[in-house]
Structures are given as C-alpha cells and as structure tokens.
Amino acid sequence: MKQVRVSARIARGLGYGAVAVSLTFLACKREAPRPPAVAEDAAPVPPPPLVAGQRSDSRPLYILDGVIADNLSLGDIQALEFESMQVLNGAAAEAGYGDRGKNGVVLLTTKRYAATLGTMRGTVLDPSGKPAAMARVVIVGTTPVAVTDSIGAYSIAVPAGTYTVRAELGGFKPTEMAGVRILAGETLTADFRLADSPK
C-alpha cells in the first residue's frame, strides 16, 4: 500500500471520496465487485436498455497534459506531480468539447508539462465590436480549447511552438491567425474579431 497526495477535488472526480476530510489518500488496488450467485437454471438478466441519446459512461472528460485520457484512475497518477487542475461544466464544457464535454471536463496539468507551456490570451469580438461570449479559441492541431467569458476574454496554455489559431462562434465566419509563436513561460496577447457569415 502506497501513500499518495492528491487534491480532494481530483480524488472525487476520479471516483474516490475524501477520507476524514484529509488530502492524503491510500492508493490500493480496487477489486472488481463479485457478481451475485445465480442458479444454474436461471436465465441471465439483461442490462437495462439505454435511453436514446444517453451515454453509458457518465464520467467527465479528462485531459491530461493536453491529451484525452479516457481511462484515467487514481492509480495512474501515483507518480505524477500536478501543477494545476481546471474544471469546466455546463455550457462552457459543451461549447469547448461538444458532446464529449456534456458530463464536464477536467483539465489536469503536471509540473513537468507546465514547464513547457506558454500562455495566449486576449479577447474575441463580434463583427460589430461587441464582446463575443462563448466563442471557441482553438490552437489548430492541439486538444485544449479556450471558451470566452461574458466579456469575450479567453486564456489558453499550450506547449511552446508556432501555431495557427482560430476563433469561432456559431453564426459568424471563423477568423484565423497564422504563424503565432508561443514561448515557454511567456504570455502572448492576441485579439480576434469575427466576420459576418456570407449569405
């Protein structure tokens, strides 16, 4: 049995409850529940049918160091040191990640990965110059997505490199900015103005 320190929010998101309101958890192998005894002549009980549009997995979408981690568990993070955790819920999660974000999105960043990141922030405006809330800012070729707040502001952290960045919002023509260079440990400000969709 090995002692692991993780935040209570992370532990609860992974399906573990906080023990005695402590931030220390014991990582141990989770045994699968034993199936109930069934008489030899008993017919197997089929699983309940899914309602149309319902997903069998109600877990949130986990993104670890910019990569989708569908099977993330407490055991997977025993040797990892986390720099930050961001939780997206509701409209913000679905605006950024579509149907996969309907149960929420948990963005986990390790300290090692954080050292390679730079930050891009700014605002997105609609064609009239007003703040564009709930617009998506996408670093083309990467997983993380930023969603603007009520004043059109966004912030997104990505590995150092040169990218094409796109701002988009339903009902408007997306705007792209090519050759955006992001340096590790530095912050770049970039603003976008959406265009009217062609009629």
Quickly state the pLDDT bin for 31 (edges 50, 70, 90).
Answer: very low
pLDDT of residue 113: 85
Could you read off the pLDDT of 88-142 as tens digits, one per residue? 888 878 877 888 888 888 888 888 888 999 999 999 999 999 999 999 999 998 8
Domain with CATH 2.60.40.1120 in the chain: 117-199
pLDDT of residue 81: 78
Question: How far from 168 is each of 28, 106, 125, CA to CA, in Å?
Answer: 44, 22, 10
Q: How many CB atoms lie within 10 A of CB 57?
A: 8
State how far the Cα of 145 lies from the Cα of 158, in Å rounded to an integer: 10
Q: Assign 3-class secondary structure to 75-103.
A: HHHCCCCEEEEEEECHHHHHHHHHHHHCC
Task: Give the CATH class of 117-199.
Answer: mainly beta
* For residues 164-176, average pLDDT: 94
pLDDT at 9 over 80: no
pTM above 0.75, yes or no: no
* For residues 48-76, average pLDDT: 65
pLDDT at 182 over 90: yes
- First-to-last alpha carbon distance for the chain, in angstroms, is 64
